[in-house]
Each structure stands twice: as C-alpha cells, then as structure tokens.
C-alpha cells in the first residue's frame, strides 16, 4: 500500500522517494529520535523526542503538562520526521557534494492514548529504544501514568527519502586531483557506564552488549 498523497509526494529528486509502508517502517524502526512539528499561532515548532512504532502507528510520550503534546492531542495537524545520517558524500565540486541518508516524513493528526493502551504504548516506546529492557524495569504507577501524556499518530500519509552510493560528479571533474568518496556515518553506542548506586552483582544486560545490526 502506498502512503503517497499530494502532500507527501516528493517533488525534488523523486528518484530518491519511497512511499511503501515496509520501507517507511524500516527507517522508523532504525531511529532513536524523531522530530515533531506543530504550529502554534502560525509559528512552526520542531521538537525532538523519543518514539516507538507498532503496526501502522507511532507513539510519542511526554509530561502531561507538555504544551507540545497538549496542542497535538487537541487535534492540530502534526508532522513527525525521522532522519538517519548514513554518510558524507564528498564530490569533486561543492555542488555535487551531498549526504547519504534515510528519512521519513509522516503527516497527520495525533490522538491522546488513555486507559490500558497507555502502559502498552510506553512499553512500545521503551522496546523501540532498547528491546528487552521493559521486562526488567519497574512498571509505571498510577501516579506516573497520570503524569504522562501519550499520543498516537497513524502512519497513513507519509514519504521516505533515501540517498545511497558514491558521489555523482560532472564528467569533466573526475580528472581533478581532489579526494572523493563517502565517509560513512552512524550513531554508535559506547561502553555502558554503570550508575554509582548500582546494586552490587547486577550484570550488564545482554541487550546492551549486543552489537548494533
């Protein structure tokens, strides 16, 4: 199924565009952060936040008094963007220099999540970031759930944009004595730093020692 609409049709460099759900889901699932877009009094705001995808929707969460979540939960239009920087593309000219990346832009309206689905949504967000951790940590209390807002945004109107591969220089520039190629880039995890008050004998969990795929 294509998630293409007139608003999510990529006009610039359409050969980089994808609108199939599988591609969009795979990019969402590889991202740690999204950027939420909202409009207040005509002014756009772009706010970074955690998220999690399940099936054909995305959950975001925050404080119950967050202005961003309140505003979007009231039904104002939302945009949710996830961007993965995969490399710097060094061409022989500035004009053809670029970046390799995967990005997704979702448009739509978010709805507040309440009742038992709220705890489930928090689990989805947690498992999105560190699969396996939710089962180990203390679950949310009623007080914590009341202090937390969760929104759900359908993944129904969306586009992906992907650039891969080497630079594409003008033919005459290939003769220039300029280094050209790709510098791969990736968000990488360092060694886990245990909390000073860690209970003695608690091992580093397996989900922290797996290498990133």
Within 11-70, the residues that bind a copy of itself by CB under 8 A are 11-12, 32-33, 35-39, 42-48, 50, 62-63, 65-67
153: three-class secondary structure by DSSP? strand
Q: In 3D, which of 190, 22, 184 has the Cα closest to residue 88?
A: 184
Binding a copy of itself (rule: CB under 8 A), the pick from 131, 146, 208, 210 is 208
Rounded to whole angstroms, the Cα distance separating 76 from 71 reads 6
13: three-class secondary structure by DSSP? coil
Size of the site for a copy of itself (CB under 8 A): 95
Q: In 3D, which of 70, 71, 24, 33 has the Cα closest to residue 52?
A: 33
Binding a copy of itself (rule: CB under 8 A), the pick from 4, 17, 83, 163 is 83
CA angle in degrees (0–180, nearest 5) for 39-43-48:
60
Q: Does 148 bind a copy of itself (CB under 8 A)?
A: yes
Binding a copy of itself (rule: CB under 8 A), the pick from 95, 131, 146, 210 is 95
Q: How far is the CB of 116 from a copy of itself (least distance, A)?
A: 15
Q: How far is the CB of 72 from a copy of itself (least distance, A)?
A: 10
Q: How far is the CB of 21 from a copy of itself (least distance, A)?
A: 20
88 within 8 A of 81, measured Cβ to Cβ: no
Binding a copy of itself (rule: CB under 8 A), the pick from 15, 141, 142, 213 is 141
* Residues within window 119-138 making contact with a copy of itself, judged by CB under 8 A: 122-123, 126, 129-130, 133-134, 136-138
> Which residues share a beta bridge with 58?
53, 153
Q: Does 144 bind a copy of itself (CB under 8 A)?
A: yes
101 — phi, psi (to 5°)?
Answer: -160, 165
Q: In 3D, which of 147, 141, 151, 143 has the Cα closest to residue 117?
A: 151
* Residues within window 157-196 making contact with a copy of itself, judged by CB under 8 A: 166-167, 169, 173-196
């Amino acid at each position: 199924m294509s998630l293409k609409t007139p608003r999510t049709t990529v006009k610039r460099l359409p050969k980089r565009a994808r609108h199939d759900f599988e591609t969009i889901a795979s990019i969402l699932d590889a991202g740690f952060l999204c950027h939420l877009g909202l409009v207040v009094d005509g002014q756009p705001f772009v706010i970074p936040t955690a998220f999690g995808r399940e099936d054909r929707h995305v959950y975001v969460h925050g404080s119950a008094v967050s202005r961003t979540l309140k505003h979007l939960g009231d039904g104002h239009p939302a945009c949710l963007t996830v961007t993965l920087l995969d490399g710097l593309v060094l061409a022989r000219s500035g004009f053809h220099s670029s970046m390799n990346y995967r990005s997704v832009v979702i448009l739509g309206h978010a709805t507040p999540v309440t009742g038992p689905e709220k705890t489930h949504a928090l689990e989805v967000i947690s498992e999105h970031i560190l699969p396996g951790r939710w089962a180990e940590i203390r679950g949310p209390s009623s007080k914590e759930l009341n202090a937390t807002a969760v929104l759900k945004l359908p993944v129904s109107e969306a586009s992906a944009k992907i650039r891969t591969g080497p630079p594409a220089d003008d033919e005459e520039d290939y003769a220039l004595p300029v280094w050209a190629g790709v510098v791969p880039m990736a968000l990488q995890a360092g060694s886990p730093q245990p909390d000073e008050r860690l209970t003695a004998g608690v091992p580093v969990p397996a989900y922290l020692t797996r290498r990133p795929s």
